[in-house]
Amino acid sequence: MKVVGQARRRVDARAKVTGQTRFADDVVLPRMLYGKLLRSAHPHALIVEIAASAARAAPGVHLVLTGADFPTAYGIMPVSQDEHALCRGKVRYVGDPVAAVIAASEREAADALALIRVTYEPLATIASPEEALRTAEPRIQDYGEGPNLHRLAHFAFGDVEPALAGADQVFEDVFFYQGSTHLSLEQHATVAALDADGRLTLWSSTQTPHYLHRELARALDMPAHHIRVIATPNGGGFGGKSDPFNHEIVAAKAALVTGRPVKITLTREEVFYAHRGRHPVLMRLKTGVRQDGTIVAMDLETLLDGGAYGSYGPASTLYTGQLQTVTYHVPRYRFRACRAFTNKPPCGPKRGHGTPQPRFAQEVQLDKIAVALGRDPADLRLQQLAPANSVTANWLTIGSMGLKPCIERVVQGSAWRERRGQLPFGRGLGMACSSYLCGAGLPIYWNEMPHSGVQLQLDRSGRVTVFCGATEIGQGSDDVLAAIIAEVLGLETTDIKLVTGDTDLTPVDLGSYSSRVTLMMGNAAIQAAERAKAILSASAGQKLGLPAERVAFADRRVFDVENPSAGMAFQEAVVAAEVEHGTLGTTGSYRPPRSAARYRGGGVGPSVAYSYTAAVVEVEVDPATGWVRVSKVWIGHDIGRVINPVLARGQVEGGVYMGLGEALMEEQAFRRLPPRLSSALVHKIPSMLEYKSPTALEMPEVVTYFIEDPDPSGPFGAKEVGQGPLLPIAPAVANAVFDAVGVRVDQVPITPDLVLAALGAKAKGKSGRVGPEAFPAVPWPEALVVPPPWEGGNGKAINEPAKSRDALPTHHSGTAGVKV
């Protein structure tokens, strides 16, 4: 192949290094106004009154909006439509938007916010899932599967109890994975404007323009085809720009009301409140194994701190368990999950969405199992990999599976066999593995249309323009799209004109989430390009006196594959086709095949392909201080096929980086003031200084190995690389700390005080483990029983547990008592 697999400058590199990439906040329009949101200073309160007349009269102010202006609820998932652009009747966390000021300058808007008087009636707060479990009133939301419980899930894929009873050994651990935020360098921004034809255009830093488009139409009660959403290149996403956000809907509304362009750019602190980051998750994991460490049954409970709103929560909840079966063969599996509401900014999808937490639990526990049974952790894993082309206990269909060579490469690269357990005290190696989706098998809202669409337009100039709704968030989706078209048509990536992420111009692509773009957009692009190629082959073949099958495309030429010198320039072939057919265009679509999982909840987890990753991390631990320094990382990733090795390696290194941040320092932490003095419950550190993310000085050397075993489902065999490589990092660090100093930190971040505490405990003859001690009692519902394939199942549940009544938002809360 001439393009795919070749290292090259990405198509948007020039714009990025010259400062010409136009991010959302760089959009400047004539007569533009600026908006600022007034955010709640209360963690939980009823809104009694909003007095905005002074703000309305303030210098430069054009408009003040409140919840009364936004009667319609929205939310990314149809089952969690619990948000309003501005709060109606109630605030649920410090930072919840209450009112908006639109003014001639951002400063004037901010100054006028201070003139709005809001009268609140404070309510008791809930700071943790444990509190939510024992607090029936007040309720943060008026829906859910328990008073302050958003979702409850219980799956039995086979009966684990007898399997655990029959196991040679059962290991049970409680783990905690702290919440973290995306911390994209770009703060969310949006510009809304009325076009000359009276329609609305919204430029926004969104990863999901299509979903935003739908929710804008809903929240503004406007026909969707009168709204245009342009996803500007995102200055980092990582999942944090995947929801429809308050400021986007407010800006749109303000543009409709004022008739002028309106920009809203969040401050960094506001980005911490917009959040939708990694859920803090408490986990209890019980695994039964045979004497050699082979898993016979696994029983997982997870408790998610969801924050105050639904967001992607229903999916996040299921992701804390559904992918546990894809890495190693698990014959029987029980999974119970609970997402609680708390008075904090809503959690949602962050790189790895819901799966790094249980991955941490499983990979650390496997390390403990290996140590307890005297097995090499690498061998313990290798002996029980989930087989390629198989169906898991929970009915996920695995295609290609390249974890074995991933493990072998990192074992070899790190000299694992010679060095693990052999390094001097204070140095150690740890291993972990993982797997991840290559695109969610189902869209966010149920439909049978394509997940990704691509249109190609060609004309006599030789121009090839590709239109696709996919969204460039830095991951390189534009380059992948250009590469695939160029590969098929024998062009260079620089020959392809790209139009992406624009709901007026481009066919729908569902967005940059769930590592779906390369596979889904790529397959749609291949189809569109192959169709164009067929048209050009026929026309060019006619001119060359050749059957279409003998026409080949390469080096910007169309030629006889058996006699390459006989041919024509690509442009001449387009001319020939335009003569024959008139105006030229083709389309391509992709929709993943139907999943084998036919049970309720089985929509989360299926993917047409899974990527695999193995990592070895080397650490140095200072036993005097507990300080952990990561000195080197070896990582093998089963990517199927590399499209651009420069970008693929960047994704791996970026994933390692973000995983290290979560492993060692990042925390979305909150603080409750002494209750006798204050009802405050605040984000502890909403700043880039105090939310610790690794700098250039913390980054270790990373050795990356790509395993290229093309997956038949992927474009040219490609699988994902954007999320999977993050997953093994935190557990590998924890396992390396154990190898270095013999203590277990069963939670992240692994801070030096925890390591020192564990060392201190061990020195006193105690266990040398720190971490959560207990998992609270959760009112688990009746299990949905789904027999695994090897127990005669057919992918469907064999029972029908009662569904809780008030699981969906009712929307009648809210308007009472608001005077504006």
Shortest spacing between CB 436 and another protein, in angstroms: 18
Residue 110 binds another protein, judged by CB under 8 A: yes
Q: Where does this chain touch another protein (CB under 8 A) — which range of 36-44, 208-216, 501-509, 730-738? A: 36-44
Alpha carbon of residue 658 to chain centroid: 13
Give the residue with the Cβ less far from another protein, 447 or 687.
Answer: 687
Judged by CB under 8 A, which of 1, 2, 28, 425 binds another protein? 28
Q: Where does this chain touch another protein (CB under 8 A) — which range of 20-28, 156-164, 167-175, 487-495? A: 20-28
Q: Which of residues 606-625 bind another protein (CB under 8 A)?
A: 624-625
Residue 756 binds another protein, judged by CB under 8 A: yes
Residue 763 binds another protein, judged by CB under 8 A: no
How far apart, in Å, do the first and last CA atoms of the chain sit?
A: 64
Shortest spacing between CB 234 and another protein, in angstroms: 6
Shortest spacing between CB 284 and another protein, in angstroms: 25
CA distances from 695 to 356, 661, 685, 698, 700 (A): 22, 10, 18, 5, 11
165 CB-near residues (< 8 Å, 6+ apart): none
Shortest spacing between CB 622 and another protein, in angstroms: 9
523 CB-near residues (< 8 Å, 6+ apart): 452, 588, 590, 713, 714, 715
Here's the x/- map for another protein, 238-257, by CB under 8 A: it reads as x-------------------
Give the residue with the Cβ less far from another protein, 327 or 651.
Answer: 651
129 preceded by cis ω (within 30°)? no
The residue among 338, 264, 252, 267 whose CA lies nearest residue 74 is 252
Residue 13 binds another protein, judged by CB under 8 A: yes
Quote the DSSP letter at residue 442: S
User: Torsion angle of alpha carbons 779, 780, 782, 788, nearest 10°?
Assistant: -170
Q: Which of residues 629-668 bind another protein (CB under 8 A)?
A: 646-647, 649-650, 653-658, 665
Residue 200 binds another protein, judged by CB under 8 A: no
CA–CA separation, 203 vs 263, rounded Å?
A: 9
620 CB-near residues (< 8 Å, 6+ apart): 426, 427, 628, 629, 631, 740
Here's the x/- map for another protein, 557-586, by CB under 8 A: it reads as ------------------------------
Residue 792 binds another protein, judged by CB under 8 A: no
Give the residue with the Cβ less far from another protein, 267 or 412.
Answer: 267
Q: Which of residues 39-68 bind another protein (CB under 8 A)?
A: 39, 41-43, 51, 56-62
Q: Which of residues 681-710 bind another protein (CB under 8 A)?
A: 682-690, 692-699, 701-702
Residue 377 binds another protein, judged by CB under 8 A: no
Shortest spacing between CB 635 and another protein, in angstroms: 11
Q: Which of residues 476-535 bind another protein (CB under 8 A)?
A: 476
Q: b/e per residue, 760-795, with b = 16+ CB within 10 A? A: eebeeeeebbbbeeebeebeebebbbbbbbeeebeb
Q: Where does this chain touch another protein (CB under 8 A) — which range of 196-204, 263-271, 387-395, 542-550? A: 263-271
SS3 342: coil
Q: Where does this chain touch another protein (CB under 8 A) — which range of 5-13, 307-315, 403-411, 770-778? A: 5-13
10 Å CB burial of residue 467 (0-12, 13-18, 19+) is buried
46 CB-near residues (< 8 Å, 6+ apart): 89, 90, 120, 121, 123, 817
Answer for the pair 355, 436: CB distance below 8 angstroms, yes or no. Answer: yes
Shortest spacing between CB 253 and another protein, in angstroms: 18
209 CB-near residues (< 8 Å, 6+ apart): 229, 230, 231, 469, 471, 501, 502, 503, 511
**Helix H or strand E segment including 64:** strand 61-66
Give the residue with the Cβ less far from another protein, 101 or 484.
Answer: 101
Shortest spacing between CB 586 and another protein, in angstroms: 31
Give the residue with the Cβ less far from another protein, 146 or 722.
Answer: 722
Judged by CB under 8 A, which of 21, 412, 587, 804 binds another protein? 21
Answer for the pair 619, 428: CB distance below 8 angstroms, yes or no. Answer: yes
Beta bridge partners of 34: 103, 263
Shortest spacing between CB 690 and another protein, in angstroms: 7
- Say how many residues touch another protein, by CB under 8 A: 106
Judged by CB under 8 A, which of 72, 542, 679, 813 binds another protein? 679
Q: Which of residues 168-187 bind another protein (CB under 8 A)?
A: 182-187
The neighbour count for residue 117, using CB atoms within 10 Å, is 12
